[in-house]
Amino acid sequence: MGALTATIVAIPFSAMAASGGKLTAELAPVPHSAAADGGSDVTGHADIKLTGRTISVHLTASGLTPGEPHAMHIHGVFDHVNECPTADADVNTGDPIDDSTPQQEGTPDGLISLNEGAPSYGPIDVSLTRTGATDPGSGLALERFVSADANGDLSYQRTITVSKQVAKNLSDLHIVIHGTDLPWDADSSSLSSLFEATLPVACGSIN
């Protein structure tokens, strides 16, 4: 009888957990060598309120390239262990997203590129844009992402309707911030290079 009672109580509890609650994410720098990325040290914090299929996101970050938009996403594979990349992800198999970068296949370069980071944290599930669509297809719509201020600080707030799968698995997903100006880029901007604009610079699990 006791086991039956426990089962009855557990069912509505887990249903509530899947449809509502408050979650957070602490964003830490993605491991890069200081020589390769100019000493990038991006950190951040996100508060997320989940109500049914609606998420209200408040995210702040610092250490970003000043005055430029930074793509930010919720990443992850549903029903799968997702994680932020470690330094071991820098295997540098070459990154076809931008063939103008000084990369050599099989030679680690001190950076974890878009393609090197993706196996750890998974594909885009939600694009944290300021306006318009928030689907994965908006993942590179840089004109619709928040820009860092002159000090490299960023603040983002938006309420978004997500898929049932995202809502159900939110606590297994990750937030990733992208984009940095690299030292070898003479124009002092990340926007002229797709490799720089998509480089993951901070990552944190949603809990």
Domains of the chain: 20-205 (2.60.40.200)
In degrees and rounded to multiples of 5, residue 178 shows phi and psi of -120, 155
**Dmax (CA) of the chain:** 72
Give the contacts of 64 (CB within 8 A, at least 6 positions apart): 42, 70, 148, 152, 153, 154, 177, 179, 180, 201
Give the contacts of 28 (CB within 8 A, at least 6 positions apart): 43, 84, 202, 203, 204
Q: Give the distance, in angstroms, between the CA of residue 185 and the centroid of all CA atoms in the same chain.
A: 23
> What confidence tens digit (pLDDT) does each residue in 91-144 have?
887 666 666 666 677 778 889 999 899 999 999 999 999 999 999 999 999 999
Confidence category of residue 190, pLDDT binned at 50, 70, 90 = confident
Question: Token pair 């908006």 is at which residue?
Answer: 138
pTM (two decimals): 0.86
Q: Give the distance, in angstroms, between the CA of residue 105 and the centroid of all CA atoms in the same chain.
A: 25
Contact yes or no for 67/149 (Cβ under 8 A) = yes
